[in-house]
Amino acid sequence: MEADFRPEHYCSVMQPILIQRSSDRRERLGFQRCLGGGCGPCRALTGRPGRTGKRGRSIGSQGSLLRSDAELKTSRRTFRRSISGEHLARLRMKLPQAADTPVVLGLGATAIDYLATVDRYPQPDEKIRSRSFTIQGGGNVANTLTALARLGVETRLLTKLGDDAIGRDILADLESEGVDTSFVAIRSNMNSPITYVIVDESTRTRTCIHTPAAEELTAADVSNCEALWNRVALVLLDSRHTLAALALAKEAIARGIPIMLDIEKDRPYALELLSLADYIVTNATYPLKFKGQPGETSHHLSILTGLVAMLEYGRAQFVIGTQGEEGSLMVQQKRRPSPSSSNQPEGADAEPQSLAGLPILVRSDTYPPQSSCSACEPPYSILRCPAWPPSRPIVDTTGAGDAYIAGIIYGLLHRMEPAHMMAIAAFVAAEKLTAPGARSGLPTLEQIPSPLRAEVTVSPVGYGSFRSR
């Protein structure tokens, strides 16, 4: 890393910023720091001095909206005061980006999460006390874009918020992470979305009560805007704002840009989105809509057949089902083996040699299973990736799937093989589990184990071997 002083860039109180740069031409790695050791707005936003985001905005490793119980009475007032007026304009200042740096464009949910941790979930009409309470940013797409930003990927958000205090907090939190919010639609006289999250320590589960915004994005909100597509390499949809998502997906297909779909339950036009996606990540329950039911003899087989049905529904290159502590399962059209892998038996280690020695082993298989019929080659290949062992005790599962998707997208952009991208996704999700909320535990690129890190430059069209069947 080399240091480069750029006097034209300043933090929120006009202190010069020392920009730590990597030697590659993308100038993406590292952080910027206030030379003065931290300004007032930086401390108010993060609760810790001096660390700023790659666009000159203050960030905190615990999330800029994370608050302890003792700080709750004053934190929101201090937060709003610190980002108002002139300070907010400077916090939003953007550094120049390389012309070929790819961007992930995400359309979907964002919110403020109010997280209460309890010993056990309350019974009806019962009063209990929380063990802790925090406030963080949330929402599927917003969480994934935040995770990608911490891994050094340029991100851009499309959503609709109200012109209220909550909406301003949402924007400030995302901007502090380096997410481009310049295309977010702001509507006056509309409440921004919020989510109440109850984290049950006894079962390590969370219950979410979501209050959405009164209006969703429309197709008109995402149409006829060429600047929106500048440097976009991949589109991420989370099945919200579905009319706008359909319009965006069709435009992405026309431009040759692949689509990642995060889908977890039935929503209007969900099946249309499913038919347009290039890559799909889902949970352990949604595939059962297609094949099998939870009460069947073989629950795992029901999930697998459901994933296969989802793959066949449209044009997807692969479908991944996340299964919590059991890991994840990828189904893809079976590819012809390369000469270097032609002698590898099915069921063998699917990991590249560079991943040897990691605490998990990704296994490959086929579906249906191999038979003695030489003319009956199974049409699908399967990868099973165990859950990564968390580095610390599990605190909260909120947003683990969003973090996992960020790892998959990171792998796609860096042309990783399937086993490699599933391993890094498992690591990112495991780290998220060790802290409360969807974002405070998300790792930075420097925290990724060195065998997992990409050694190649991010590609604007880096979809590896999945780009076409």
The predicted pLDDT at position 198 comes to: 94
Q: Of 57-66, 82-91, 140-149, 327-336, which has the strongest mean pLDDT? A: 140-149
In this prediction, residues 202-216 reach a mean pLDDT of 88
Whether the per-residue pLDDT at 278 is higher than 60: the answer is yes
Torsion of CA 262, 268, 270, 271, to 10 degrees: 170
Whether the per-residue pLDDT at 441 is higher than 50: the answer is yes
Which of 81-85, 113-117, 215-219, 225-229 has the least mean pLDDT? 81-85
Sign of the C-alpha dihedral, residues 313, 314, 317, 322?
Answer: negative
3-state secondary structure of 183: coil
pLDDT tens digits, 41-55: 333 334 433 333 433
Name all domains of the chain by residue range, CATH numbers in brackets: 19-97 (no CATH), 99-466 (3.40.1190.20)
The predicted pLDDT at position 362 comes to: 78
Q: Which residue has the higher pLDDT, 454 or 75?
A: 454
In this prediction, residues 370-378 reach a mean pLDDT of 58
Q: Which helix (H) or strand (E) holds 86?
A: helix 85-91
Which of 61-70, 271-280, 355-364 has the least mean pLDDT? 61-70
d(CA 107, CA 217) in angstroms, rounded, equals 9
Please report the DSSP string for 344-388 in residue order. PPTTSB-S-GGGTT-S---EEEEESPP-S-TT---SEEEEEEPPP
92 — pLDDT class (breaks 50, 70, 90): very low
Q: Which of 284, 386, 261, 385 is nearest to 330 (CA)?
A: 385
Q: Which of 238, 10, 232 is nearest to 109 (CA)?
A: 238
Whether the per-residue pLDDT at 9 is higher than 60: the answer is no
pLDDT tens digits, 419-429: 999 999 999 99
Q: Which of 144, 83, 133 is nearest to 403 (CA)?
A: 144
Q: Check if the beta carbon of residue 428 is closer than 8 Å to that of residue 406.
A: yes
Please report the DSSP string for 96-153 in residue order. ---TT--EEEEES--EEEEEEEESSPPPTT-----SEEEEEEE-HHHHHHHHHHHTT-
